[in-house]
Chains A and B, each alone.
Chain A
Amino acid sequence: MLKRTDSEHCYHCGELVPPGTHLTVEIGGEPRPMCCPGCQAVARLIAGSGLDSFYRLRTELNETAPPLPQENLYLAYDNPENCADFVSALDNGEHRAQLLLGGISCAACTWLIEKALLANPAVSGANVNLSQQSLVVEFNREQLPLSEIFQQLLALGYDPHPWQLSQGARLIETEQRAALRELAVAGLAMMQVGMFGIALHAGDIQGIALEYRGLMRWVSLLIASVVVFYSARSFFHNAWNNLRFGRLVMDLPVALAIGLAYIASAWATLQNSGEVYFDSIAMFTFFLLLGRYMERQVRRREFLRQTDLQSLLPVASLRREGDSWATVPTRSIRSGDVLLLRAGETIPADGVLLDGGGAVDEAAFTGEHLPRSIGPGEQVSAGTVLREGGGSMRVACDAAGSRLATMLGMLTRAGDKPTLARLADRVAARFVGAVLVIAALVAAYWIQVDATRALWITLSVLVVSCPCALALATPAALTAATAHLRRRGLLLVGEDSLEGLLRCQRVIFDKTGTLTHGELRRRETRVAEGSTEEEALAIAAALEQQGRHPIAQAFADITAATGLREVEVVAGRGIRASLDGRRIAIGSPAFVSETCPGLPAPPQAPGHWIALAADSGLLAWFALDDSPRSDAEATVAALQGRGLAVELLSGDPSNAGRELAQQLGIDAVRIGASPKDKLEHIHSLQAAGTPVAMVGDGLNDAPVLAAADCAFAVNQATDLAKSQADAILLGQSLGPLDDAFAMAVRCRKIIRQNMSWALAYNGLAVPLAAAGWVPPWAAAVGMSASSLLVVLNSLRLK
């Protein structure tokens, strides 16, 4: 069941409805509360299209919807030249587009998207893949431009991107299918061999004619051969590849057990004597493959979202050609070109502004979400966003030389995470050694005592010591821990993230967007005499709606007043308009005082103060700031309570970082750090022997996340940051961080218990087998029981 569908939380996204907001949409016959006009628009569209059963079917809350942009930002995709790499022509004259969708949270989303798109007669096919978060849509380009599809997806509350499968992603897809094929063969073969296995075991106990025993053994041999040579080949490969370099890994005892049991059983079948273990081989292979498949499945999703340089830049740009502007694909831009920049667009290249100006959001490099004002002659960088204003720029270097490309290049250099010898492999190395020594001793002993039985007893020692339980000990515990953390709101992606977490002694947080919400919110409103708060907010919201400055977010939850005329947006300073015969203005005190000359000085209190005034006098002061997440303080305290050092590492040079650190009780602070500084800081800590965990969100955090021993990305993080993280927070809360540390400790305890048990079982069974006392059915039961115990023990991780 979904939590938080009461009157205080948004019915669409589950966020707390801000006080003073009274937005509703009628869904399922009842008015439902909405937190912001964005969510309201999406919910209204869903309910209005008769798709409201989406809300009953969904199992996860939606993401908070951003307000819809006023113009269609995707028009460049209507030019076939710009989308050749993700749109392909079909034989019947239609086109197929591949898109990645942000914001898909559960299966009901796939239903909603497919239903909504197929309602359009020009769309002949729509298929959403939930685990890849991708959409393949087939449509008629003449009747429906591609930009309309993008726009419709955006209106439903999802964030569409063109999707090109990278080489790596394609490889993962092929591997995943191959793994599934191996698993399917092992599963069906296991059932068949198991059937004959039961008959053979029963025959061992109550007697069976040699003729039929031989028949069943031959058939079992045939089917088990398929399992060994097809499904289990990856174990042999891995074991051999590592062995060549002198590494003993968990796959080695697995390969030895499967290989030896198979050879022994095949020999017994040929000789029509001895014992066969075909059923154990098939079962063991199947369960190991199953565990591996599920482990991979989790990692696949995040890998597919990896970002490259192209996807961070706009698809098309406007280039000066003669006297006019021509739309050209961004990748064809060269040094020396003159480009037109418009408000709201991502700057496609590094260069110098020729004319115009505005406010540019450089969060990609600094992590600071408040834009910087720029004018002619100033540098702009590819990947930053022009929030307001406009103008033209001269490109200074090709895409490969841009600051953005340099930062992405840092990723590969930051690359290799400190690798740890995995606990399972360390145990495996000793285990293999011990088993081989014991088997050799047993063989030597029995050759002296009774040479005819020596081969069989030695083989039974090797088979009984089959490390099923040992091999399952770690994956079973990790799977259980991953599932539990997933329910608590943390998605573990990295293979060794829990083991990495255990070593971390220091947790480093980014500031904007990680410890804070990453957007401006109203902190305080001081209304002037003769004006009411409600009126002032409505006017402010109406004015701010006109601009694209991030300050507008702070008023997005207010229903705006109507009747604005003669609107004038001054980039980086404020907005002016006429309302009911009065001139009004909102913005920085200096800007507003041009409209209202008698403007008093702003209040002396923390926050970013903006004024709202009419020509007759001040209406209100608003203090805006980027507020910390509600549980940031509690999480920091909890982590410190675990004996971890907590540090704040911010790219923002202002003093806000120090203030926040003080507020949250963080002692160590570094501000104004460039992505390179951040990376060097982490490396120097690691060189001094302090493993670090990093929590971040932005593009500028990606190299640091890649270098950290354990990296977390918050929910709103850029795809690039997410792709470098070992774990991703799924909700607004930072609390799951503390859960993850707690879970890592418990998980290690369970893994140790599992391993002790598995080793104890083998320790007991091997001497019995060495004495020649273990019949094959007892070995099979023992193996299954010990594996089951390991799985049940792991399930205690709840």
Chain B
Amino acid sequence: MDSLYILIPIAVVFCAIAIKLLLWAIDNGQYDDLDKEAWRILMDEEDVQRKEQADRD
């Protein structure tokens, strides 16, 4: 159980890194438009399909 003394601080450090990254992303404007990002993935797929279609033709 002594390993907890190492594992828990590691978990806390990882949590701090995750928070830091998230805050960086927010300040970078990546969360300014939540409505669009939810859709973007579908749009890109559309492009790929179109390209595949073109490759086959």
| B-binding residues in A (CB < 8 A) | 53, 57, 107-108, 110-111, 128-132, 173, 177, 180-181, 184-185, 188-189, 191-192, 195, 209, 212, 215-216, 219, 222-223, 297
Contacts and interface: CB of A to CB of B under 8 A. Distances in A.
Contact of B15 (A57, A132, A189, A209): A189
A108 B27 contact: no
A191 B11 CA distance: 11
Nearest to A195: B11
B36 A212 contact: no
Contacts of A209: 1
B18 A131 contact: no
A443 B53 CA distance: 76
Given A57-B46, A181-B27, 17 more contacts: A107-B35, A107-B40, A108-B39, A129-B36, A131-B36, A177-B26, A177-B32, A180-B26, A184-B19, A184-B23, A192-B11, A192-B15, A195-B11, A209-B1, A216-B8, A219-B9, A297-B34
A129 B22 contact: no
Binding site secondary structure of chain A: helix
A24 B50 CA distance: 25
Interface residues of B, number: 27
A107 B38 contact: yes
Contacts of B57: none
A181 B22 CA distance: 8
Contact of A107 (B15, B31, B36): B36
Contact of A128 (B5, B36, B46): B36
Nearest to B34: A131
29 contacts: A53-B46, A57-B39, A57-B43, A57-B46, A107-B38, A107-B43, A110-B39, A111-B39, A111-B40, A111-B43, A128-B36, A129-B32, A131-B33, A131-B34, A173-B32, A177-B31, A177-B32, A180-B26, A180-B31, A185-B23, A188-B15, A188-B22, A189-B15, A192-B11, A192-B12, A209-B1, A212-B1, A212-B4, A223-B15
Contacts of B26: 177, 180-181, 184
Contacts of A111: 39-40, 43
B5 to A, nearest CB: 7
B41 to A, nearest CB: 11
Nearest to B49: A53
Interface string B12-29: 100100110011001100
A209 B5 CA distance: 14
Contacts of A53: 46, 50
Contacts of A222: 12
B46 A110 contact: no
Contacts of A189: 15, 19
B36 A223 contact: no
Contacts of B18: 188
Contacts of B46: 53, 57
Contacts of B12: 192, 219, 222-223
Contacts of B1: 209, 212
A184 B33 CA distance: 16
A618 to B, nearest CB: 55
Contacts of B36: 107, 110, 128-131
Q: Considering the complex of A and B, which 10 residue pairs feature the smallest CB-CB distances, nearest first?
A: A107-B39, A130-B36, A130-B35, A129-B33, A184-B22, A111-B43, A131-B35, A192-B15, A110-B36, A180-B26
Contacts of A180: 26, 31
Nearest to B35: A130
Nearest to A128: B36
Contacts of A297: 34
Contacts of B38: 107
Contacts of A216: 8
- Of residues B11, B15, B27, B42, which shows the largest number of chain A Cβ atoms within 10 Å of its Cβ? B15
B24 to A, nearest CB: 10
Nearest to A226: B19
A215 B22 CA distance: 27
Contacts of A129: 32-33, 36
A130 B1 CA distance: 51
Contacts of B34: 131, 297
Contacts of B23: 181, 184-185
Residue among B18, B35, B50 facing the most chain A CB atoms (10 A cut-off): B35
Find the residue from A53, A192, A222 having the highest chain B CB count within 10 A.
Answer: A192
Q: Which of B11, B31, B38, B39: most chain A Cβ within 10 A?
A: B39
A147 B29 CA distance: 28
Contacts of B19: 184-185, 188-189
Contacts of B15: 188-189, 191-192, 223
Contact of B8 (A57, A191, A219): A219
Contacts of B4: 212, 215
Contacts of A192: 11-12, 15
A230 B39 CA distance: 32
